[in-house]
Amino acid sequence: MRKAIIAGNWKMNKTPDEARALVEELIPLVADAECEVVVCPPFVDLCPVSKAIKGTNIHLGAQNIHWAKSGAFTGEISADMLKKFGVEYAIVGHSERRRYFGETDATVNMRAKAALENGITPIICVGESLEQRERGETDEFVASQVRGALEGISADDARRVVIAYEPIWAIGTGRTATAEMAEETITVIRKTLRSIFGNDAAETVRIQYGGSMNPQNAASLMAMENIDGGLIGGASLKAEDFSKVVKYR
Ligand code: 13P
């Protein structure tokens, strides 16, 4: 059985004080959650958030991770730095990183490997554009992103990975993929995993849906056999909304 994982991607929102306030409001609301709860604040918020969530059931994630241990990589952050704050997850290859900051399958792959080598679980994001969906290229494209991100990773390591399927056209648009549509593409992702790593690993990997997921649509998405969680943007910035997604049942 795969344990459901609901993660909030705060993106570039919340100052350290605002971040602490948000997570303090969230703690009692999700204390009895059945799923794994993760928040991914901006880097400067990791310190106050990590202090606030100590001893709670909320886990900490970062929004990126660099592949090098240290060095001349202006604007980047290393696994060692993240681990100091108790970071257990790192989002890699978000479509906003791919689109605005030149992230490629190759750099996503290096970041994912660095995370795994350091005991951090990468949340690897994949997803097609509207044009690709309309041209009927979704399956092929998403499968190629999965293969690229996991190139050279062993089946044992692959089991620990989380994949987030986020169709670009559903991010921040209020336009959610229907549960059936999301399930269809996520099934393609699981098939791709099966072809690379075999059945066991493929059945272990948790695959999230992301893209305008909210308290209203969470239950129907989570009811799908292959959807094991959500990566939540906008709705994770309000404690009450996020807690309703976490408690989707
Ligand atoms: P929204 O939930 O705001 O659509 O964002 C989804 C997302 O990009 C999470 O990583």
pLDDT beyond 90 at 10: yes
Cα distance between residue 191 and residue 112, in whole Å = 20
Looking at residue 118, the DSSP 8-state letter turns out to be T
pTM: 0.98
Q: Whose CA is nearest to atom 5 of ligand 1?
A: 233
Instruction: Quote the ligand 1 centre to 16 CA distance (angstroms).
Output: 21
The answer on pLDDT for 175 being more than 90 is: no
Beta bridge partners of 123: 91, 162
Q: State the chain's mean pLDDT as an integer.
A: 97
Over residues 12-35, the mean pLDDT reads: 98
pLDDT at 152: 98
203-243 residue pLDDT tens: 999 999 999 999 999 999 999 999 999 999 999 999 999 99
H/E stretch holding 124 reads strand 121-126
Q: Is residue 1 pLDDT above 90, yes or no?
A: no
Pocket-forming residues, ligand 1, beta carbon under 6 Å: 9, 94, 166, 171-172, 210-213, 231-235
Pick from 209, 232, 236, 238 the residue to mutate for probing ligand 1's pocket: most ligand atoms within 8 Å of its CB. Answer: 232
Residues 212/190, Cβ–Cβ less than 8 Å: no
- Strand 162-165, strand 36-40: pairing: unpaired
> Given this model, what pLDDT does residue 156 score?
97
Closest ligand 1 atom to residue 236 Cα is 2
For residue 81, give every residue at least 6 positions away whose Cβ sits within 8 Å of its Cβ, in sequence order, or none: none
Which residues are bridge partners to 121 per DSSP? 89
Helices (H), 151-238: 155-158, 179-197, 199-204, 218-222
**Three-class secondary structure of residue 103 per DSSP:** coil
Ligand 1 atom 1: residue of nearest CA = 233
* Active-site residue list: 94, 166
In the chain, what percentage of residues exceed pLDDT 70? 100
Q: Name the residue with the closest Cα to ligand 1, atom 7.
A: 233
The pick from 9, 99, 208, 236 for probing ligand 1's pocket by mutation, whose C-beta has the most ligand atoms within 8 angstroms, reads 9
pLDDT digits (tens, 9 = 90+) for 77-111: 999 999 999 999 999 999 999 999 999 999 999 99
